[in-house]
Structure 1
Amino acid sequence: MSAPETTTTTALMPMVIGEHRIAVEALSVLEILGPQQWVAIPNTPPMLPGALAWRGRAVGVLDLGPALDLPTLSAPSTRNRNAILQLTDDTVALSVDRVLEVCRAAADAIAPVHAASWVVDGGLPCRGEIELDELVVPILDLDAWAVASRRAR
Protein backbone atom coordinates (compact mmCIF):
# COMPACT_ATOMS: atom_id res chain seq x y z
CA MET A 1 0.00 0.00 0.00
CA SER A 2 1.44 3.40 -0.97
CA ALA A 3 1.23 6.52 1.12
CA PRO A 4 -1.57 8.89 0.19
CA GLU A 5 -0.53 11.70 -2.09
CA THR A 6 -0.45 15.05 -0.34
CA THR A 7 -1.02 18.35 -2.03
CA THR A 8 0.49 21.47 -0.58
CA THR A 9 -1.98 24.31 -0.35
CA THR A 10 -1.70 28.00 0.41
CA ALA A 11 -4.40 30.10 2.05
CA LEU A 12 -4.96 33.31 0.11
CA MET A 13 -7.00 36.39 0.94
CA PRO A 14 -8.29 38.09 -2.20
CA MET A 15 -9.00 41.82 -2.05
CA VAL A 16 -10.50 44.39 -4.38
CA ILE A 17 -9.09 47.83 -5.04
CA GLY A 18 -10.85 49.82 -7.74
CA GLU A 19 -11.55 47.35 -10.55
CA HIS A 20 -8.55 45.18 -9.66
CA ARG A 21 -8.31 42.01 -7.64
CA ILE A 22 -5.15 41.12 -5.78
CA ALA A 23 -4.34 38.49 -3.18
CA VAL A 24 -2.00 38.16 -0.23
CA GLU A 25 -1.10 35.13 1.83
CA ALA A 26 -3.85 34.85 4.43
CA LEU A 27 -1.39 33.95 7.19
CA SER A 28 0.15 37.43 6.89
CA VAL A 29 -3.18 39.08 7.76
CA LEU A 30 -3.35 40.05 11.44
CA GLU A 31 -6.64 41.94 11.39
CA ILE A 32 -9.17 43.54 9.04
CA LEU A 33 -10.32 47.03 9.99
CA GLY A 34 -12.91 49.35 8.55
CA PRO A 35 -12.07 52.88 7.38
CA GLN A 36 -9.33 54.49 9.46
CA GLN A 37 -7.94 57.95 10.04
CA TRP A 38 -4.32 58.34 9.00
CA VAL A 39 -1.67 61.02 8.86
CA ALA A 40 0.34 61.86 5.75
CA ILE A 41 4.10 61.88 6.24
CA PRO A 42 6.05 64.27 3.99
CA ASN A 43 8.75 62.95 1.65
CA THR A 44 7.59 59.34 1.71
CA PRO A 45 7.22 57.05 -1.33
CA PRO A 46 3.82 57.30 -3.11
CA MET A 47 2.86 53.76 -2.10
CA LEU A 48 3.64 54.42 1.58
CA PRO A 49 2.18 57.91 2.09
CA GLY A 50 1.70 57.92 5.86
CA ALA A 51 0.79 56.04 9.01
CA LEU A 52 -2.20 55.10 11.12
CA ALA A 53 -2.53 54.09 14.75
CA TRP A 54 -2.98 50.38 15.42
CA ARG A 55 -2.79 48.79 18.87
CA GLY A 56 -0.88 51.70 20.33
CA ARG A 57 1.71 52.07 17.60
CA ALA A 58 2.07 53.63 14.18
CA VAL A 59 1.99 51.38 11.12
CA GLY A 60 2.64 52.43 7.56
CA VAL A 61 -0.33 52.89 5.24
CA LEU A 62 0.26 50.98 2.01
CA ASP A 63 -1.58 52.55 -0.93
CA LEU A 64 -1.57 50.48 -4.12
CA GLY A 65 -3.33 53.26 -6.05
CA PRO A 66 -0.12 54.59 -7.67
CA ALA A 67 0.90 51.12 -8.86
CA LEU A 68 -2.57 50.33 -10.24
CA ASP A 69 -3.24 53.69 -11.94
CA LEU A 70 -5.98 54.43 -9.41
CA PRO A 71 -6.60 57.56 -7.35
CA THR A 72 -4.25 57.80 -4.40
CA LEU A 73 -5.36 58.06 -0.80
CA SER A 74 -5.94 61.50 0.64
CA ALA A 75 -5.48 62.07 4.37
CA PRO A 76 -7.25 61.71 6.69
CA SER A 77 -9.42 58.79 5.45
CA THR A 78 -8.41 55.40 4.08
CA ARG A 79 -10.44 53.17 1.80
CA ASN A 80 -13.29 51.00 3.17
CA ARG A 81 -11.10 48.18 4.48
CA ASN A 82 -7.61 48.02 5.90
CA ALA A 83 -5.78 44.73 6.19
CA ILE A 84 -3.11 44.83 8.86
CA LEU A 85 -0.35 42.67 7.42
CA GLN A 86 2.68 41.23 9.14
CA LEU A 87 5.65 41.23 6.83
CA THR A 88 8.98 39.70 7.81
CA ASP A 89 10.30 42.90 9.39
CA ASP A 90 7.36 45.32 9.20
CA THR A 91 3.67 45.69 9.87
CA VAL A 92 1.63 47.68 7.34
CA ALA A 93 -2.00 48.59 6.73
CA LEU A 94 -3.01 47.72 3.17
CA SER A 95 -5.92 49.99 2.27
CA VAL A 96 -8.42 48.38 -0.13
CA ASP A 97 -12.08 48.69 -1.11
CA ARG A 98 -13.19 45.16 -0.20
CA VAL A 99 -11.77 42.02 1.37
CA LEU A 100 -13.07 38.72 0.03
CA GLU A 101 -13.32 35.30 1.64
CA VAL A 102 -10.11 33.38 2.25
CA CYS A 103 -9.58 30.56 -0.22
CA ARG A 104 -7.18 27.64 -0.47
CA ALA A 105 -5.05 27.21 -3.54
CA ALA A 106 -3.02 24.17 -4.48
CA ALA A 107 0.64 25.10 -4.81
CA ASP A 108 0.69 23.82 -8.39
CA ALA A 109 -2.24 26.14 -9.27
CA ILE A 110 -0.04 29.18 -8.65
CA ALA A 111 1.57 30.10 -11.95
CA PRO A 112 4.48 32.43 -12.67
CA VAL A 113 3.36 36.00 -13.32
CA HIS A 114 2.28 36.34 -16.92
CA ALA A 115 -1.23 37.70 -17.39
CA ALA A 116 -0.87 39.91 -14.29
CA SER A 117 2.45 41.41 -15.38
CA TRP A 118 0.81 44.86 -15.30
CA VAL A 119 1.05 44.67 -11.49
CA VAL A 120 4.78 43.97 -11.60
CA ASP A 121 5.21 46.73 -14.19
CA GLY A 122 3.50 49.07 -11.71
CA GLY A 123 6.16 48.35 -9.10
CA LEU A 124 4.56 45.57 -7.06
CA PRO A 125 6.51 42.32 -6.81
CA CYS A 126 4.35 39.23 -7.13
CA ARG A 127 5.08 35.66 -6.16
CA GLY A 128 2.74 34.37 -8.84
CA GLU A 129 -0.80 34.51 -10.12
CA ILE A 130 -3.83 32.29 -9.77
CA GLU A 131 -7.23 32.00 -11.38
CA LEU A 132 -10.04 32.80 -8.93
CA ASP A 133 -13.65 33.08 -10.10
CA GLU A 134 -12.46 33.09 -13.71
CA LEU A 135 -10.17 36.08 -13.08
CA VAL A 136 -6.38 36.03 -13.03
CA VAL A 137 -5.36 37.39 -9.65
CA PRO A 138 -1.79 38.40 -8.80
CA ILE A 139 -0.44 37.21 -5.44
CA LEU A 140 1.55 40.07 -3.97
CA ASP A 141 4.99 39.49 -2.50
CA LEU A 142 4.90 42.28 0.07
CA ASP A 143 8.14 41.18 1.74
CA ALA A 144 9.96 41.72 -1.57
CA TRP A 145 8.26 45.11 -1.88
CA ALA A 146 9.35 46.08 1.66
CA VAL A 147 12.95 45.12 0.93
CA ALA A 148 12.96 47.08 -2.34
CA SER A 149 11.41 50.16 -0.71
CA ARG A 150 13.99 50.09 2.10
CA ARG A 151 16.80 50.01 -0.49
CA ALA A 152 15.25 52.96 -2.33
CA ARG A 153 15.33 55.19 0.78
Structure 2
Amino acid sequence: MMVAANGRADPRELQALEDLQAFGRLGVPRTRFEALVHECLHEVGSGLAGSSWLHARDQAYVDRLLDAVADPQERLLVCRLAAAALTADGQVSWDERLVFDHALARWHVSRAMLTQAILHDGTPAAGRHARPLVAHPATG
Protein backbone atom coordinates (compact mmCIF):
# COMPACT_ATOMS: atom_id res chain seq x y z
CA MET A 1 0.00 0.00 0.00
CA MET A 2 2.76 2.43 0.85
CA VAL A 3 4.38 1.93 -2.56
CA ALA A 4 1.04 2.68 -4.23
CA ALA A 5 0.00 5.59 -2.00
CA ASN A 6 0.93 8.32 -4.47
CA GLY A 7 -0.97 6.70 -7.32
CA ARG A 8 1.99 5.10 -9.07
CA ALA A 9 4.62 2.43 -8.49
CA ASP A 10 8.01 3.96 -9.26
CA PRO A 11 10.52 1.41 -10.61
CA ARG A 12 13.15 2.88 -8.23
CA GLU A 13 10.96 1.92 -5.27
CA LEU A 14 10.72 -1.66 -6.47
CA GLN A 15 14.46 -1.72 -7.14
CA ALA A 16 15.18 -0.48 -3.60
CA LEU A 17 13.07 -3.34 -2.27
CA GLU A 18 14.90 -5.79 -4.54
CA ASP A 19 18.27 -4.47 -3.32
CA LEU A 20 17.20 -5.03 0.29
CA GLN A 21 16.02 -8.56 -0.51
CA ALA A 22 12.59 -7.44 0.68
CA PHE A 23 10.55 -9.99 -1.24
CA GLY A 24 12.39 -12.93 0.29
CA ARG A 25 12.40 -11.33 3.73
CA LEU A 26 8.65 -10.77 3.52
CA GLY A 27 8.00 -14.19 2.03
CA VAL A 28 6.24 -12.71 -1.01
CA PRO A 29 7.54 -13.34 -4.54
CA ARG A 30 8.22 -10.13 -6.45
CA THR A 31 5.53 -10.92 -9.03
CA ARG A 32 2.93 -11.35 -6.27
CA PHE A 33 4.12 -8.12 -4.60
CA GLU A 34 3.75 -6.23 -7.87
CA ALA A 35 0.25 -7.66 -8.30
CA LEU A 36 -0.63 -6.47 -4.78
CA VAL A 37 0.72 -3.00 -5.58
CA HIS A 38 -1.48 -2.85 -8.67
CA GLU A 39 -4.50 -3.98 -6.62
CA CYS A 40 -3.79 -1.16 -4.16
CA LEU A 41 -3.41 1.31 -7.02
CA HIS A 42 -6.78 0.24 -8.32
CA GLU A 43 -8.50 0.31 -4.91
CA VAL A 44 -7.05 3.39 -3.25
CA GLY A 45 -3.72 4.62 -4.60
CA SER A 46 -4.95 7.06 -7.19
CA GLY A 47 -7.67 8.29 -4.83
CA LEU A 48 -5.24 9.45 -2.17
CA ALA A 49 -3.45 11.91 -4.44
CA GLY A 50 -6.09 14.63 -4.05
CA SER A 51 -6.65 14.41 -0.30
CA SER A 52 -4.82 15.62 2.79
CA TRP A 53 -6.29 12.92 5.04
CA LEU A 54 -7.41 9.34 4.82
CA HIS A 55 -11.13 9.17 4.12
CA ALA A 56 -13.03 6.55 6.14
CA ARG A 57 -13.25 4.13 3.19
CA ASP A 58 -9.54 4.48 2.40
CA GLN A 59 -8.57 4.20 6.06
CA ALA A 60 -10.62 1.02 6.44
CA TYR A 61 -8.85 -0.46 3.40
CA VAL A 62 -5.40 0.54 4.67
CA ASP A 63 -6.22 -0.74 8.17
CA ARG A 64 -7.25 -4.14 6.78
CA LEU A 65 -3.88 -4.41 5.05
CA LEU A 66 -2.00 -3.26 8.14
CA ASP A 67 -3.91 -5.58 10.46
CA ALA A 68 -2.87 -8.56 8.32
CA VAL A 69 0.63 -8.14 9.79
CA ALA A 70 0.32 -9.16 13.44
CA ASP A 71 3.91 -9.79 14.55
CA PRO A 72 5.65 -6.66 15.95
CA GLN A 73 9.01 -7.59 14.37
CA GLU A 74 7.38 -8.10 10.98
CA ARG A 75 5.65 -4.74 11.35
CA LEU A 76 8.98 -3.08 12.07
CA LEU A 77 10.51 -4.82 9.05
CA VAL A 78 7.66 -3.60 6.83
CA CYS A 79 8.17 -0.04 8.09
CA ARG A 80 11.92 -0.26 7.52
CA LEU A 81 11.43 -1.55 3.97
CA ALA A 82 8.70 0.99 3.28
CA ALA A 83 11.00 3.82 4.37
CA ALA A 84 13.59 2.65 1.82
CA ALA A 85 11.00 2.33 -0.93
CA LEU A 86 9.41 5.70 -0.23
CA THR A 87 12.73 7.54 -0.37
CA ALA A 88 14.09 5.65 -3.39
CA ASP A 89 12.98 8.34 -5.85
CA GLY A 90 14.51 11.14 -3.77
CA GLN A 91 11.23 12.53 -2.47
CA VAL A 92 8.34 11.55 -0.25
CA SER A 93 4.96 12.72 -1.46
CA TRP A 94 2.20 13.85 0.87
CA ASP A 95 0.17 10.71 0.09
CA GLU A 96 3.10 8.41 0.86
CA ARG A 97 3.79 10.20 4.13
CA LEU A 98 0.09 10.06 5.03
CA VAL A 99 -0.08 6.28 4.69
CA PHE A 100 3.37 5.72 6.21
CA ASP A 101 2.62 7.88 9.27
CA HIS A 102 -0.74 6.12 9.66
CA ALA A 103 1.04 2.74 9.66
CA LEU A 104 3.58 3.91 12.24
CA ALA A 105 0.82 5.20 14.50
CA ARG A 106 -1.44 2.16 14.10
CA TRP A 107 1.43 -0.22 14.78
CA HIS A 108 2.95 1.92 17.58
CA VAL A 109 6.30 2.13 15.79
CA SER A 110 8.29 5.18 16.84
CA ARG A 111 10.78 7.03 14.63
CA ALA A 112 13.52 5.88 17.03
CA MET A 113 12.50 2.24 16.53
CA LEU A 114 12.52 2.76 12.77
CA THR A 115 15.95 4.40 12.87
CA GLN A 116 17.34 1.47 14.84
CA ALA A 117 15.82 -1.00 12.36
CA ILE A 118 17.50 0.85 9.49
CA LEU A 119 20.85 1.09 11.27
CA HIS A 120 20.84 -2.59 12.21
CA ASP A 121 19.69 -3.92 8.85
CA GLY A 122 22.29 -6.46 7.83
CA THR A 123 21.49 -6.72 4.12
CA PRO A 124 24.34 -5.71 1.78
CA ALA A 125 22.39 -2.79 0.28
CA ALA A 126 21.13 -1.42 3.60
CA GLY A 127 23.55 1.51 3.65
CA ARG A 128 22.43 2.68 0.22
CA HIS A 129 18.82 2.80 1.40
CA ALA A 130 19.28 4.52 4.75
CA ARG A 131 18.15 7.99 3.74
CA PRO A 132 16.10 10.11 6.11
CA LEU A 133 12.37 10.15 5.50
CA VAL A 134 11.69 13.79 4.59
CA ALA A 135 8.92 15.34 2.60
CA HIS A 136 9.55 16.82 -0.81
CA PRO A 137 9.38 20.63 -0.51
CA ALA A 138 6.72 20.90 -3.20
CA THR A 139 4.46 18.30 -1.61
CA GLY A 140 4.76 19.04 2.08
TM-score (norm 2): 0.27
Quick check: which one's strand share is greater?
A: 1
TM-score (norm 1): 0.25
Quick check: which one's helix share is greater?
A: 2
**Greater relative contact order, per chain length (Cα 8 Å cut-off, separation 6+):** 2
Query: Greater CA radius of gyration, 1 or 2?
Result: 1
